[in-house]
Chain A
Amino acid sequence: MECYKANELMMGYMDSTLTEDQASKLNQHLRTCASCKEDFLVYNNIMKEFSKAEVIAAPPGFEESVMKKIQSIEFKRNGLFSADSFVCVVWGMFSVLFGLGFILFLYKDAVLETLAAIPYMSAFIATMLPISEFVTSLSNSILLSGEVMLGIITSSRYIVLGIILCLATVQYAMYRKEKLNKHKAG
């Protein structure tokens, strides 16, 4: 028998899958091949050590520690100041303020006029007028640049469409990959 074949049989020996016939063939080979015999003795020693593998137990109080951590996670998750609800509160406040600001911006002239009619407020409103004009001119320039942008976009809308399609494809591919990874991990 060739040495490589004997080596395969040794693997079978370590897995306890050798038939009687295979075992006797291996024995025969070991009697005549010193190098394989040496290998076999080393393997045998390794197996002896492995078979003595001690039973390892988790330290006492393990469940309690894990459950305590889990309860604190649950508390954070359900509590008022959990990460999720904090993000919601910030986002909500931002939306309300942005909305209010936008409405004020749209009706700023009407609001300023009404306020200027009040005697006590007129002096204060007078200081506000230049700011209002500045905001109007700023918004006009933004609108102008917006129109320019719109012109560029419409003139090259096929390119834009192509880019959007590419981005969507990449996004979908990434989503699929992540899903696969998650499936693998879990």
Chain B
Amino acid sequence: MEVENLTDYELIQKCINEDNNYFSELVSRYKNLVYSIILRMINDREEANDLAQEVFIKVYKNLHKYYPDYKFSTWIMRITTNHVIDYRRKKKQDTVAIEDVEYELKSDGSPEETYIETEQREALNALLDSLPDMYRIPILLYHKEGLSYQEIADVIDEPLSKVKNRIFRGRRIMKDTLLSSAN
């Protein structure tokens, strides 16, 4: 059977019982998800790369603890968000300077439009970065990674109602900040 056709759980079993090279397939399946969540949380490509590698090593070391009650993606996202939170706690780095944020914008608009778009995006990203993690992570997962409320509840291990409340409250904080900065 081709490696690509194996399910995540089959791959994990093979990885534990047969050959750890099967892990490489799991890495290629989830590297973009893990890396993008981390990059959106810390806005530094090099550090995001290091942290993403650490996450996969953590995942590898804890593979035997995975139970298929949750999707593997949920489990790996939980490890990812916890790892970044721990890292930031250690570094005590709460916000990121806007100058450090890199953007890869593709726009067909005029240079002025592109400039305004970039400005807006930067402002919004900086605003998102300034939110406390409890609002920021659910908003990131919902609006940027496209997870459902239930999936987020599984990732951050909180009830659905709490997830909803946090997203609503996070949006409100963003709206109020934007309004007060405009006035």
Q: With a CB–CB cut-off of 8 A, which chain B residues contact A71? A: 20
Interface digits, B56-98 against A, CB 8 Å rule (1 contact, 0 not)?
1100111001100000000100110010000000000000000
| Contact B35–A58 (Cβ < 8 Å) | yes
Cβ of B77 to closest chain A Cβ, rounded Å: 13
Considering the chains assembled together, what is the distance between the CA atoms of A108 and B34 in angstroms? Answer: 66
A56 within 8 A of B: yes
Where chain B touches its partner, the secondary structure class is helix
Q: Mark B residues whose CB is within 8 Å of A.
A: 20-21, 23-24, 27-28, 31-32, 34-36, 39-40, 45, 49, 52-53, 56-57, 60-62, 65-66, 75, 78-79, 82, 104-106, 120-121, 124, 143-144, 157, 168, 171-172, 174-175, 178-179
Q: With a CB–CB cut-off of 8 A, which chain B residues contact A43? A: 171, 175
Considering the chains assembled together, what is the distance between the CA atoms of A58 and B46 in angstroms? Answer: 11
Contact residue among B27, B120, B179 (Cβ-Cβ distance under 8 Å from A63): B27
A73 within 8 A of B: yes
Assuming the contacts A11-B168, A70-B20, A73-B57, asked whether A57 and B178 have C-beta atoms less than 8 A apart, the reply is no
How large, as a class, is the contact surface on chain A?
Answer: 20 to 34
| Contact A185–B20 (Cβ < 8 Å) | no
| Contact B34–A58 (Cβ < 8 Å) | yes
Considering the chains assembled together, what is the distance between the CA atoms of A12 and B5 in angstroms? Answer: 38
Cβ of A139 to closest chain B Cβ, rounded Å: 48
A84 within 8 A of B: no
Q: With a CB–CB cut-off of 8 A, which chain B residues contact A59? A: 35, 45, 49
| Contact A69–B62 (Cβ < 8 Å) | no
Instruction: Name the residue of chain A whose CB is nearest to the CB of B105.
Output: A54
Assuming the contacts A14-B171, A38-B179, A70-B60, asked whether A62 and B31 have C-beta atoms less than 8 A apart, the reply is yes
Of the candidate stretches A44-52, A118-126, A148-156, A164-172, the one touching chain B is A44-52
Cβ of B163 to closest chain A Cβ, rounded Å: 12
In the A-B complex, the 9 residue pairs with the closest CB atoms: A56-B36, A186-B65, A58-B35, A58-B31, A50-B143, A53-B144, A63-B27, A66-B56, A49-B124
Considering the chains assembled together, what is the distance between the CA atoms of A176 and B69 in angstroms? Answer: 21
A135 within 8 A of B: no
Assuming the contacts A62-B52, A67-B27, asked whether A54 and B57 have C-beta atoms less than 8 A apart, the reply is no
A sample of 8 inter-chain contacts (CB < 8 A) reads: A46-B171, A47-B143, A53-B144, A59-B35, A62-B31, A62-B53, A71-B20, A73-B60
Q: With a CB–CB cut-off of 8 A, which chain A residues contact B60? A: 70, 73
| Contact B175–A66 (Cβ < 8 Å) | no
Considering the chains assembled together, what is the distance between the CA atoms of A9 and B143 in angstroms? Answer: 18
| Contact A49–B121 (Cβ < 8 Å) | yes
Contact residue among B32, B57, B106 (Cβ-Cβ distance under 8 Å from A58): B32
Considering the chains assembled together, what is the distance between the CA atoms of A71 and B79 in angstroms? Answer: 21
Considering the chains assembled together, what is the distance between the CA atoms of A97 and B14 in angstroms? Answer: 43
Q: With a CB–CB cut-off of 8 A, which chain A residues contact B124? A: 46, 49
Q: With a CB–CB cut-off of 8 A, which chain B residues contact A163? A: none
A182 within 8 A of B: yes
| Contact A67–B24 (Cβ < 8 Å) | yes
A184 within 8 A of B: yes
| Contact A62–B35 (Cβ < 8 Å) | yes
| Contact B178–A63 (Cβ < 8 Å) | no
Considering the chains assembled together, what is the distance between the CA atoms of A62 and B57 in angstroms? Answer: 12
Contact residue among B36, B53, B105, B106 (Cβ-Cβ distance under 8 Å from A66): B53
A113 within 8 A of B: no
Taking A7-B172, A66-B24, A186-B62 as known contacts, 15 extra A-B pairs with beta carbons closer than 8 A to each other, sorted by chain A number, are A38-B179, A43-B171, A49-B124, A50-B143, A54-B106, A56-B39, A57-B35, A59-B35, A62-B31, A66-B23, A66-B53, A66-B56, A67-B23, A69-B53, A71-B20
